[in-house]
Amino acid sequence: MGEVALYDISKRFTLRIDGAVHTVQALSRVSFKVHDGEIVALIGPSGCGKTTVLRIAMGLETASGGKVAVDGREVRGCGHDRGMVFQFAELLPWLTALQNVMFGLEMKGMRGAELRATATRYLELVGLSDSLNRRPHQLSGGMKQRVGIARALAIDPKVLLMDEPFGALDAQTRETMQAELLELHARTRKTILFVTHDLDEAVLIADRIVVMKHGMVQEIMTVPLSRPRPDLGIVRGTPDFAETRYRVWKALHEPAATLH
């Protein structure tokens, strides 16, 4: 199982600008669910609070109100039930790819031969069996993010949380990674919540798309594309893709919904 539910999440920041204290309502009553095995994309313009939602779901930030539950259990702070993939991979630069994956596993309490074997297995899963002993600076951007994904997957979390995981990659690498992510998902059936500002990416990968604006959920739409989607090139050519993409685009360009 792996279901994430966000109930009425709100977040206020206080900022000090020129000596005056401002309160910024970053999130208001954000509620949605990611069902078991589902991929949900959080999309919205920058500053809409999508990354904050993800960070609150991970436990890296605390919500001012509302709650997050994984499989019905309310969570506070970080936990091994959630695996985080960071925007810029954020590998520890002094560790090799293998050691980076092992780090996450060690924190979960794994030791000995199992530790190395598991880390190796997950790096193989993301196609890095030849680069186990490379340090991050010896890896390309795409490879780094593969290690980041392997590190998060290796602890076998119920949910994978991804913060614009392919945002820093070039267009070609991004497409490869998107296809790989879908393949990985087909194999592991992990629940995935990922943040993106890329319309195409959201439609190609997600089952449902949460459109956010000004810290609120504007609309939640279902992507009518079937799984598996082995060839994203073909998916791009379907009328369903074009239609969904247009719907999301429109939602992003509509005036923001008001809070009821």
Whole-number minimum distance, CB 84 to other proteins, in Å? Answer: 4
Length of the chain: 260
Whole-number minimum distance, CB 185 to other proteins, in Å? Answer: 20
54: Cβ–Cβ under 8 A, 6 or more apart, which residues?
Answer: 42, 161, 162, 163, 193, 195
Residue number, 73 or 253, with CB nearest to other proteins: 73
Whole-number minimum distance, CB 137 to other proteins, in Å? Answer: 5
Residue number, 151 or 229, with CB nearest to other proteins: 151
Residue number, 24 or 78, with CB nearest to other proteins: 78
Give which of 184, 185, 187, 141 is closest to 164, Cα–Cα: 141
Integer Cα distance of 119 and 240 in angstroms? 39
Residue number, 161 or 212, with CB nearest to other proteins: 161
Give which of 179, 105, 169 is closest to 143, Cα–Cα: 169
Residue number, 58 or 211, with CB nearest to other proteins: 58
Give which of 37, 40, 30 is closest to 3, Cα–Cα: 37
174 touches 166 (CB < 8 A)? yes
Residue number, 25 or 103, with CB nearest to other proteins: 103
Whole-number minimum distance, CB 192 to other proteins, in Å? Answer: 16
- Judge residue 71's burial from the number of C-beta atoms within 10 Å of its C-beta, 0-12 exposed, 13-18 middle, 19 or more buried: middle
Give the tokens for residue 63. 């919500």
Name the residues that contact other proteins, by CB under 8 A: 58-60, 78-80, 82-84, 86, 88, 90, 92-94, 103-104, 107-108, 135, 137-138, 155
Whole-number minimum distance, CB 117 to other proteins, in Å? Answer: 19
Whole-number minimum distance, CB 135 to other proteins, in Å? Answer: 5
